[in-house]
Structure formats: structure tokens, C-alpha cells
Amino acid sequence: MSYLYTIEQMQALERAADANGTSYAAMMETAGQRVVDAILAYAGTAPRAVMVLVGPGNNGGDGLVVARLLAEAGWSVVVAVIGRASDDPRLAALVERGVALHQLGVDDDLAALYEPLRESQLVVDALFGTGLSRSIAGLAARLLAMVAQVRAAHRHDSLLWLGSPRCPVSEPEIVAVDCPSGIHGDSGEVDSATLVADLTVTFAGPKQGMLTASAAPYLGSLVVADIGIPAPVVAEAAHVALLLTPQNVAEALPPRPLTGHKGTFGTLTIVAGSRQYVGAPSLVAQAAGRSGTGLVELAVPDEIQPILAAHAELTTAIWRPLPSEAGAISEAALPALLSTLDRADALVVGPGLGLQDATGSVVWQLLTHHALPPTVVDADALTMLSQRSNWWHEVRGKLVLTPHPGEMARLIDRSVSASQADRRRVAQAAAQRWQQVVVLKGAFTVVAAPDGRVALSPYATDALAKAGSGDLLAGIIGGLLAQGATPWDAACVGVEAHGAAGQRLARCGGNRSTDASALLRMLHHSWATIEQYRNSQPQQGGDV
């Protein structure tokens, strides 16, 4: 399992590993190897020119291991060292291998590094780790500024030479060891000297400051690397949150026996849609169907049912047209809805319903019914709940509430900025107060349970900032509930699958032009990745 840590928790984890027989030296060697593995997977195995920036602490030690291993792989390696004792045996190992080594003093001129840096295809940033508590200044700041200058010059030259066969080498890509230098591991505060990485290889798990709005843009692609800390030590260690990765959620994925039939995989009833939001029920239903649900029933206003039924994507849906007024579900729909509860394994309630008083009355009576199955409460249904005092004392059954920041602000009667100030704690407090699972959507979506458990998605991409994205998530989670997953498991698996699909779209360059239908088509990649780890021994780390 991979977790999110504070700086202190990570240090305690390493001490515990050392006390249990995994030495700091062994962890450093493994860390360096994992960075090299990630570099080769990212940049290819063909030898290239690389400059490694090495600082005084353990992060710098990791960088020296990286430099040695890349040199052994045939790469052209130049190492710039700051503040490290000259008798470090790792430096001697580099000299033995003929690596170009520059040990820099405080007042040294960096001119000798300019050409090697300009010729490098990669720069490995191993100057400072996540625990740096001071501003980057002096020699280190000058060195990072030189890298930034060379990158900017390459970018400028590439534009000037665009289309020419004499176009110069592209700008060097940055690989950060554990964390880009200058990002504080707890607060996420970013130093002005910090480089924007293309790839960050973090050890054991991200530090909580990395998954913040301020720090995330500097990470690039994030890889979580197992550095050999024994699983029992990890399991006993304190952490901030579970990190949602394919490996971490695989065992929570509902099983699919070969002898199963559509009834085995559950029936999901979707209460959604209105004249204004005709598309929402379709998106929820398609996402549920592509998440393994056996049967999907659409309970929608009778006015829009013929429109939806004409969609080729919904030919397998079961239809329950509901009495409506002004294009929205009316109070006359309640008996028909209640009659579905005895055969529905789960519900999704809310997407596109509108905010008519009559619809709100129906939703309230549904959510307070004694026979309510596990239910995803989303969108307009959340707004309806926020209009009732102490609603959590009256709702029945097991719910997964999926608010975006605005809906959460209404539910807790605070401003959006207040609900966003500490998303993890806000979600945890809400889950414990309401005694329901809460999914606080947004960058680094938070999943919180009534018992205090909390999980964090490592994804932050504007590919998901499109209409319909939330409808898809509601359908995924609802479909997993219908297949028998617990609310916690359904929320964690659903958020991982949804976020990974969005991240894949962004990596394909589709974050600007994508829409909900494109995200839907990416879901099968998420399921395939999670299935790879199903029924296998959970591992630490992995590409997120």
C-alpha cells in the first residue's frame, strides 16, 4: 500500500525500517535504482547526456547513486556537487568510473557548467529533499537559475528554428528526486528558485505538501517508488491518507465470476434528468454500464424519456418514465420510485434533476425511506439536502455523497474558500458528522469515511473540469455499489478509475478539447490497469 505522509511521518518510517534491518544505505541504493528505472521508462534506454545536481543531504546521496548507475548504463554523466564532503565514498565511485565531477564552492564561477548543461538532454534535480525549511540562496540558487536559463534559451531557439533541419537540441527535461528542490513537504510552499519537473520520482509515498495547488504544477508526471521498506513496517506507520493508485484499490474491485450473469452484477436505478438537463441520465447510465453493472434502470421524467430512448448508447437500459411537471419529476412519481427499491441493488439520485420544490419533496421521501439501498447522492440532490437542517439525522441507508466545492460549501454552510482551505479535514469532519462516505471532488479528490479513514487521489487535471464529468463519477460509483462494493470501496475505486481516465486524456493532449464522451471512452484503460493488480499481492509504489 502507498500512503501520503508528512515529513515527520516519513522520517519515522525510515527510522523504523532501519531498526527492522533495512539500512539507510540500502534504502538509498534502492531509491537511486528506482529513479534510474523511472528515467529509462520515461526517456528510453538509449544512452543520453545527463547532468545530475547533487546537494548535501540524503537527497544528494540518492543523486550520486543515480549518477553512478546511469554511467554504468553507458550514459554521458556530468555531476555538479554542492556542500558535500570530498571524502564521500559515493563521489570516489564516480571518479573511478570516469564521471565528470564538479565540486562547487560558494563563490565558484559556474561558467564551466554551461556547455555540459546545454548539451544535456536530462537534468536530475537531487539538490534538496522535502524537509528543506529555508529559502534556496547563494550557489544553489545560481545553479538552478542557470538550468532555468538554459531551458528558456532552448525553448526560444526551437521556436526560431521551427521547421528547419538544423533545429537545435530540445530543452533538457527535468527529473526530480523525491521532490523538486524548494517545495516544502508539509506546506506545499514553493521557493522562487524551484524548477518545474517533467518527472518526479517520490519515495514510499508523496509528502502531503506535494499534492497541493501550489506544488502540483511543479511535479510533472509522478511516480511513487518502493525503496524496500518492509510491508509490515509500512502497515504500522502513521500516515496522512491512503493514496489512491491502481495497486491500492485493486483488491476492492468487485469480483466477476466466470459463471456470473447480469443479475450477479447488480441492478442500478438512476433517478436523474429534467427538461433542462437531458444528457445527465445518459452519462450516468453509460458510466455504470462501462463499470461492470449488470442492469441499469433509468427513472426519468416522462417528458424526456423518448429523447433518451433514441440514444444508441442506451439500447440496453430499462426505462421507468416518471410523471413530471414543467419537465421535472413531480410528486406523483413517488409511488413508482418506491416500487423500484425492492429490486434495485443501488441508486444514483440527483444528476440533472433541477431544483423544483416537488422534485425536492420526492427526493427527500426517497432518501428517508426505510428500504433505501446503497445510494450515490449527487448534484441537485445535494443542494436539496443542504436546504434541510440536520438532514443527516433522518436519511436512511448507506450513502456516498459526491459534492464539488460549491455543493460542499452549501452543505456545511461555509464559503467555498473555507471549504477548500483544508479539503482533507473538511471532508473528514463532514463524513464523521453525517456518518456517511464523502467524496469531495476537485483537484486531488478526497474520499472520507465515518470511521476516520481518508484517501486522496493523486490526480489534478483540467481534463476533468468539464460538464458531465461528475455525472460519470456518480455512475461509476453507483455501478460498483450495485455490484456489491461497500460505499468506501466503491468511492475509492471509482475515484481512482475516473481520475486515471482524466489523467490519460491530459497526457494525450486532450485536456483542452476533451469532453465527457472522450472521458467515458478512456475508462476501459483504467479498468484494465486495476485488473492487472487484482488478486495479486499488493505492492508499494507505482506510476500515478
Predicted confidence (pLDDT) per residue in 402-416, tens digit? 999 999 999 999 999
- Integer Cα distance of 51 and 112 in angstroms: 13
CATH code of 267-418+460-538, in short, is 3.40.1190.20
What's the order of all strands across the beta sheet hosting 241-243?
Answer: 3-4, 241-243, 454-456, 446-448, 437-440, 399-401, 375-377, 346-349, 267-271, 295-301, 318-322
Res. 171 pLDDT band, cuts 50 70 90: confident
Q: How many Cβ atoms from other residues are within 10 Å of residue 76's Cβ?
A: 17
Q: Nearest-5° angle of CA 442, CA 288, CA 357?
A: 70
Res. 165 pLDDT band, cuts 50 70 90: very low
Q: Nearest-5° angle of CA 53, CA 54, CA 57?
A: 150
User: Using one digit for the tens of pLDDT, what is the confidence trace for 238-279?
Assistant: 999 999 999 999 999 999 999 999 999 999 999 999 999 999
H-helix or E-strand containing 437? Answer: strand 437-440
Whole-prediction pTM = 0.90
According to the 3-state scheme, what is the secondary structure of 89-144? HHHHHHHHCCCEEEEECCCCCCHHHHHHHHCCCEEEEECCCCCCCCCCCHHHHHHH
- Integer Cα distance of 269 and 340 in angstroms: 8
DSSP state of 448: E
DSSP strand pairing (328-329 vs 454-456): unpaired
Give CA separation, 126 vs 58, 178, 213, 214, 275, in Å.
Answer: 9, 8, 23, 20, 57
User: Using one digit for the tens of pLDDT, what is the confidence trace for 345-360?
Assistant: 999 999 999 999 999 9
- Integer Cα distance of 519 and 523 in angstroms: 7
H-helix or E-strand containing 159? Answer: helix 138-160
User: Using one digit for the tens of pLDDT, what is the confidence trace for 106-158?
Assistant: 888 899 999 999 999 999 999 998 878 899 999 999 999 999 999 998 765 55
Q: Could you tell me the residue ranges of all domains in the chain?
A: 3-239, 267-418+460-538
Q: Nearest-5° angle of CA 442, CA 458, CA 531?
A: 110
Same CATH topology for 3-239 and 267-418+460-538: the answer is: no
DSSP states of 360-406 as a string?
HHHHHHHHT-TT--SEEE-THHHHHHHTSTTGGGT--S-EEE---HH
Q: What fold is seen in the domain 3-239?
A: Rossmann fold (3.40.50)
Phi, psi of 424 (to 5 degrees): -60, -50
pLDDT of residue 106: 82
Q: Answer yes or no: are the C-beta atoms of 531 and 291 closer than 8 Å.
A: no
HSE-up (13 A, CA, CB side) for residue 423: 25
- Integer Cα distance of 281 and 379 in angstroms: 12
